[in-house]
Amino acid sequence: MSGDHAYDPVDGLGAVLGDDAVLRLTIRRPERRGSIDDAIGLALADHLVAAGKDEAVRAILVGSDGPDFCAGSDLTAKNTGGPRPRVGSIQRRLPSTFHRVVPLLLETQVPVVAAVRGWAAGLGFHLALAADFCVAAGRARFWEPFLARGFTPDSGATWLLPRLVGLARARQLVLLGRELSGEEAAEWGLIHAAVPDDQVDGEAEALAVHLAQGPTVALGLAKWLLTAGADTGLADQLRNEAFALELSSRSEDFREGLASFRDKREPEYRGR
């Protein structure tokens, strides 16, 4: 543990900030195929908030320690008997749990890498899509299970998918429940790369470490620009770019970038 915040693990979610400045968030529920309950959703959101404030964190790696990445929200945990919740229970609960996580992944100003093996279904699919980079096994399975179970999508599915693959393909995934392999997801442009199963962890680790060694301020601002630009007019986005350029050009890493170019050497960014 290091930095200004404690990344304490909770049951089902590991959190370790390494000396390489990568915060590793690991779903630890292999017996539930990586499905996430409310407690894990809350902890995941809290860790992402803390990471955005912690200058010791320069990249985030989200993965799992089982054969599956995340099979979605743990429906079994929500349907174990007991008193029937009041009408509106889902609508009240989601904003503080799973519906916090996807926006935080998109907005946190450090790069996020997801390492996916096995199933990434529902919420798990959306965690992978909201990461800046997803490295998946070629045999991984991406699936929107909602309509097959008789209910509607959540956690950003209907916002993410049309923007990433267009409305026609989004309809195939959501309305028809088409499953995609990791290789197909890469071909569709949904994820960064598909690799052999035994290379997923190594490739994702290497990418996260590479990003953690980059110009953190500029990377975070560039990430913000790409996300904001999806719903911003050109004039507003040009103002955003001017704002980001003003900030990034005042960073220590900007000065290091110029010095390394002048000296014909590789830059040594410190994330400042």
Q: What is the mean pLDDT of residues 233-239?
A: 95
CB 166 within 8 A of CB 173: no
Among 25-29, 205-209, 256-260, the range scoring the smallest mean pLDDT is 256-260
Q: What is the pLDDT of residues 36-76, one digit of tens each?
A: 998 999 999 999 999 999 999 999 999 999 999 999 887 65
- Give percent of the chain with pLDDT exceeding 70: 89
Q: What is the pLDDT of residues 97-144, one digit of tens each?
A: 778 999 999 999 999 999 999 999 999 999 999 999 999 999 999 999
| CA gap 204, 68 in Å, rounded | 15
Q: How far is CA 110 from CA 6, 132, 190, 217, 232, in A?
A: 17, 9, 20, 8, 21
Q: Which of 194, 190, 17, 24 is nearest to 116 (CA)?
A: 194
Residue 82 has pLDDT above 90, yes or no: no
pTM over 0.75: yes
Q: What is the pLDDT of residues 198-209, one digit of tens each?
A: 999 999 999 999
**pLDDT at 256 (0 to 100):** 86
**pLDDT at 84 (0 to 100):** 67
Confidence of residue 10 (pLDDT cuts 50, 70, 90): confident
